[in-house]
Amino acid sequence: MKVLVALKRVADPDNANKVKIAAGGGAVDTTGLEWKPNPFDEYALEAALRLTENGKAPKARLGEVVVVTLGPKEVEQTLRAALATGADRAIRVDVTDEQLDGRLVAKALQAIVAAEKPDVVLMGKQAVDGDSNQVGQRLAELLDWPMATFAATIKEEDSALLVGREVDGGVLTLRVKLPALVTVDLRIVAPHSVFSKATEAGFKYNDGVRFAPLPAIMAAKKKPLDVKTLAELVPGASLSTKYLKFERPAQRAAGVKVKDVSELVEKLANVAKVI
Amino acid sequence: MANVLVVAELSEDGKLKKSTLSAITFARQALPAVGGAIHIVVLGANTAAAAAELAGYGAAKIQCVDDASLAHYTAEHYAPSVVAAAQGVSLIVATASSFGKDLLPRVAAKLDAAFAGDCAGVAVEGGKLVYKRPMFAGNAFGYCTLDTPVQVATARQSEFTPAEPSGGSSPIEKLAKAAPGAAAARVEFVGLEAVKSARPELTDAKVVVSGGRALKEKFFEVMEPLADAVGAAIGASRAAVDAGYAPGDFQVGQTGKIVAPQLYVAVGISGAIQHIAGMKSSKVIVAINKDPEAPIFQIADYGLVADLFQAVPALTAELKKRHG
Ligand SMILES: Cc1cc2nc3c(=O)[nH]c(=O)nc-3n(C[C@H](O)[C@H](O)[C@H](O)COP(=O)(O)OP(=O)(O)OC[C@H]3O[C@@H](n4cnc5c(N)ncnc54)[C@H](O)[C@@H]3O)c2cc1C
Ligand SMILES: Nc1ncnc2c1ncn2[C@@H]1O[C@H](COP(=O)(O)O)[C@@H](O)[C@H]1O
């Protein structure tokens, strides 16, 4: 099985008070924020590796995993890290984040899928910088492929995937015939979430994503990494989502500490009047 | 003159979901920039009851697409019919539930339209729609415009109060299901493992009580009586869900459900920004945590530093007394 994984590098919003708005509100000031792969995309990569191996012998790739990113040169670090954890090849489309919106990312990925012809496209359900949650759905439509978004489990079947999706009311299971697109949710890296046909039922993965051993990091430097331009993939690309300004949300003020349960109930009943 | 199309959301058993009313509110706010009228499309295997319920909200028309293949929602079957219903429409909107989040970007791609997801607001500036979007785990709002002939958006349910009926009776029309693309034949609904509960839905409960990693295997034992005492919905942190103490659809946060109840009680939750992103619009926040330095106290109106295994049963008992 050949799997294409879309991987975005994001400014990590983990440290809340570090997200700043540049003077004038024209941009989010990312200086001081740590760059890291979008966590959902790291999970997608882990799922791709699990789908192309026997869980018992993870060193032998039973298929091919290609990682693709749209971003500036620095993002190659992120791609090399992905290659070190087990991906076979990488593709970078040379653009800056300011030149992209979800519509263009999906179009560029469509062109890459057309050239690469993977059986499965795996990606995060959302990038945690823009929190946009659209590229996977758009790409599936452009390809006229079936999709399973917000996946918590994936089981490989003959030319199909059985996918458990986390939806509002519970877990919804879909069967998608290959080629298909899957966007992943947090639980996809739980120990019993992903099974290739080679991995025996009941096999238990470590929780979370795998880390690359040092020799693999060295070897990853020699793995192929192609660079493409946006213009060759999406001729005449122009932005259709334009951000006019940004602002910090109003901060909530800390309240008071209560000494015990009685005082809490008294406050809720008589001051806040919510019970 | 162009119109706004609201995509209604039905439950698995064909009932109108209240989330739809938030999308109607969004549509009403956007209408001055669009100019025409509100249209509603209802898709399913048997839409008559839901359509009748929607007839009092002032839509110029309600289009019903009834087909056996729409009994269970799949974007591959639904998207083409939403597009067919969007004749003369320049804005398509749904609520950012798991339904709207899945479907609308696919609809947008079909129309080559730009998309603004999970909007916390929409305003009309200089005749154009400006969408207000929470980004960076709720640490910034971005204001954007969409420059395509058709625009597609989803509304964050907690930020758009459910629309009230405006009287009248919208005409209800039938619309044939549009032929789906090749993708539709390659997706199969296998089943929905629904978390059955008599409690209100997280996204429109007046009170939400959420538990974190600290609850361990006692999650339900501790949280259910508390929820029952105040008629609350139960939420959870990611850590509680990841550990298997609570089901996935309980997760509140940046990447889970967004809630804004009158009262939110965080029990044994540290207050990571991803969690706070999902509940900080609550009117009153209570935190119970044994660590006085836990970040959750920075946003809580009332903080109780205590061992939850003692405090929560005591709180439950007091609340029961009050509610009889
Ligand atoms: C991409 C991404 C997306 C995420 N999305 C979400 C999301 O949507 N929602 C979400 O919640 N998280 C999300 N997270 C995870 C988030 O960063 C935190 O890890 C998570 O919220 C922590 O959960 P917790 O507070 O239950 O656990 P912890 O951080 O472990 O906190 C447990 C708390 O319980 C307290 N405690 C322990 N024992 C007791 C006791 N006996 N009595 C009282 N208090 C006690 C401790 O003092 C501590 O504060 C996301 C993370 C990433 C990377
Ligand atoms: N610049 C990018 N490069 C590679 N993949 C991307 C990029 N932007 C978005 N994606 C993919 O699309 C998914 C959803 O992103 P979004 O719709 O922007 O929230 C991400 O999890 C990535 O897998």
Q: Give the pLDDT score at B171.
A: 98
> Does the pLDDT of residue B48 top 90, yes or no?
yes
Q: Give the pLDDT score at A13.
A: 72
Q: Give the pLDDT score at B324.
A: 63
In a mutational test of the A interface, the residue from B73, B122, B135, B190 whose CB has the highest number of chain A CBs within 10 Å is: B135
The CA distance from B158 to B135, in Å, is 16
> Does the pLDDT of residue A18 top 90, yes or no?
no
> Does the pLDDT of residue A119 top 90, yes or no?
yes
Residue nearest ligand 2's atom 12 by CA: A135
- pLDDT single digits (tens) B220-237: 999 999 999 999 999 999
> Does the pLDDT of residue A34 top 90, yes or no?
no
Rounded to 10 degrees, the C-alpha dihedral B118/B66/B164/B31 comes to 60
- pLDDT single digits (tens) B266-289: 999 999 999 999 999 999 999 999
- Which residues of chain B lie closer than 8 angstroms to A30, CB-CB? none
3-state SS track over B222-273: HHHHHHHHHCCEEEECHHHHHCCCCCHHHEECCCCECCCCCEEEEECCCCCH
B294 lines ligand 1 (CB under 6 A): yes
**Mean of the pLDDT values across residues B173-177?**
98
What spacing in Å lies between the alpha carbon of A104 and ligand 2's midpoint? Answer: 11
3-state SS track over A72-134: CHHHHHHHHHHHHHCCCEEEEEECCHHHCCHHHHHHHHHHHHHHHCCCEEEEECCCCCCCCCC
The CA distance from A47 to A29, in Å, is 32
Could you tell me the pLDDT band of residue A30, with boundaries at 50, 70 and 90? confident
The CA distance from B13 to A193, in Å, is 28
CB atoms within 10 A of CB B314: 15
**Mean of the pLDDT values across residues B256-265?**
97
Residue whose CB lies within 8 A of the most ligand 2 atoms, among A36, A38, A129, for a mutation test: A38
- pLDDT single digits (tens) B289-320: 999 999 999 999 999 999 999 999 999 999 99
Instruction: Measure A272 CA to nearest chain B CA, in Å.
Output: 7
Identify the DSSP state of B57: B
B308 lines ligand 1 (CB under 6 A): yes
> Does the pLDDT of residue A16 top 60, yes or no?
no
- pLDDT single digits (tens) B14-23: 999 999 999 9
> Does the pLDDT of residue A117 top 60, yes or no?
yes
The CA distance from B18 to B126, in Å, is 32
> Does the pLDDT of residue A14 top 80, yes or no?
no
The CA distance from A109 to A123, in Å, is 11
A62: alpha, beta or left? (left if phi > 0; alpha if psi -120 to 50)? alpha
In a mutational test of the B interface, the residue from A21, A175, A207, A252 whose CB has the highest number of chain B CBs within 10 Å is: A252
Task: For residue A147, give the H/E element and its range.
Answer: strand A147-157
Q: Which ligand is nearest to the CA of A70?
A: 2
Q: Give the pLDDT score at A32.
A: 79
- Percent of chain B clearing pLDDT 90 (strictly above): 94
Cite the DSSP H helix spans in B85-232.
98-110, 219-230
Q: Give the pLDDT score at B323.
A: 77
CA dist A35 → A32, A39, A75, B200 (Å): 9, 11, 9, 40
In a mutational test of the A interface, the residue from B15, B136, B144, B195 whose CB has the highest number of chain A CBs within 10 Å is: B136
- Token output for B113: 């339209």
pLDDT top residue among A7 and B127: A7
Nearest residue in A to B310, CA atom: A261
Q: Give the pLDDT score at A17.
A: 63
Nearest to A102 by CA among A183, A20, A209, A185: A183
The CA distance from B267 to B312, in Å, is 8
Q: Give the pLDDT score at B1.
A: 59
Residue whose CB lies within 8 A of the most ligand 1 atoms, among B275, B286, B288, for a mutation test: B275
> Does the pLDDT of residue A148 top 90, yes or no?
yes
- Which residues of chain B lie closer than 8 angstroms to A257, CB-CB? 292, 297, 302-305
- pLDDT single digits (tens) A219-265: 999 999 999 999 999 999 999 999 999 999 998 888 999 999 999 99
**Mean of the pLDDT values across residues A269-274?**
96
The CA distance from A81 to A94, in Å, is 18
- pLDDT single digits (tens) B33-43: 988 999 999 99
Q: Is the ipTM of this complex over 0.85?
A: yes
What spacing in Å lies between the alpha carbon of A43 and ligand 2's midpoint? Answer: 13
Q: Give the pLDDT score at A245.
A: 95
CB-based pocket (< 6 A), ligand 2: A 6-8, 38, 40-41, 69-71, 100, 102, 105, 123-124, 126-127, 130, 132-136
Confirm if A36 and A16 have CB atoms less than 8 A apart.
no
Burial of A27 (0-12, 13-18, 19+ CB in 10 A): middle
